[in-house]
Amino acid sequence: MTGLFLGFLLGFIMQRGRFCMAGGLRDLYLFRDGRMTLAILIIITLQSIGLFAFVALGWAKLPGGDFRWLATLVGGVTFGIGMGLAGSCSTGAYYRAAEGLAGSMIAVVGFVVASWYIRQPGGKQLFAPINGPALPDASLMQTFGMSPWPAVVLLTVLTGWLVWRHLKRKSFPVPQPKPRKQGLAHWLFEARWHPFVSAVLIGVIALLAWPSSLESGRVGGLGISGPSAQLFSLITEGKTGFFGWAGYLLIGIFAGALVAAWGSQELRLRSPGLPTMVKSLFGGGLMGIGSGLAGGCMLGNTIVNTAWFSWQGWLFIPCILLGSWLVSYFTIILPNQSNKTKEA
Please tell me the distance from the alpha carbon of residue 114 to that of residue 54, in angstroms, as a whole number. 34
Arithmetic mean of pLDDT, 220-232: 96
Predicted pLDDT of residue 342: 67
Instruction: Determine if residue 30 is left, alpha or beta; phi over 0 gives left, psi from -120 to 50 gives alpha, anything else beta.
Output: alpha
Structural contact between residues 257 and 43, judged by C-beta atoms closer than 8 angstroms: no
Considering Cα of 103, then 75, then 41, then 332, what sign does the dihedral take?
A: negative
Tell me how crowded residue 216 is: count the other CB atoms within 10 A of its CB. 12
What's the whole-number average pLDDT of the chain?
A: 93
Strand extents, DSSP E, the chain: none
* pTM of the predicted structure, to 2 decimals: 0.94
Over 90: is that where the pLDDT of 220 sits?
A: yes
Predicted pLDDT of residue 181: 80
The residue among 290, 321, 314 whose CA lies nearest residue 127 is 290
The residue among 310, 321, 328 whose CA lies nearest residue 223 is 310
Among 5-9, 89-93, 136-140, 329-333, where is mean pLDDT lowest? 329-333
The residue among 165, 183, 213, 272 whose CA lies nearest residue 7 is 213
Arithmetic mean of pLDDT, 258-273: 94
Predicted pLDDT of residue 344: 58
* DSSP-assigned letter for residue 68: -
Tell me how crowded residue 263 is: count the other CB atoms within 10 A of its CB. 17
* DSSP-assigned letter for residue 132: S
Predicted pLDDT of residue 343: 65
Q: Which amino acid is at 112?
A: V
Question: How crowded is the C-beta side of 316, counted as CA atoms within 13 Å?
Answer: 30
**Tens digits of residue pLDDT in 286-310:** 999 999 999 999 999 999 999 999 9
**Residue 101, beta-bridge partner list:** 270
Percent of the chain with pLDDT over 90: 81
Contacts of 263 (CB under 8 A, 6+ apart): 185, 188, 189
Please tell me the distance from the alpha carbon of residue 188 to that of residue 263, in angstroms, as a whole number. 8
Over 80: is that where the pLDDT of 123 sits?
A: yes
**Tens digits of residue pLDDT in 12-48:** 999 999 998 888 888 887 788 889 999 999 999 999 9
**Residue 19, beta-bridge partner list:** none
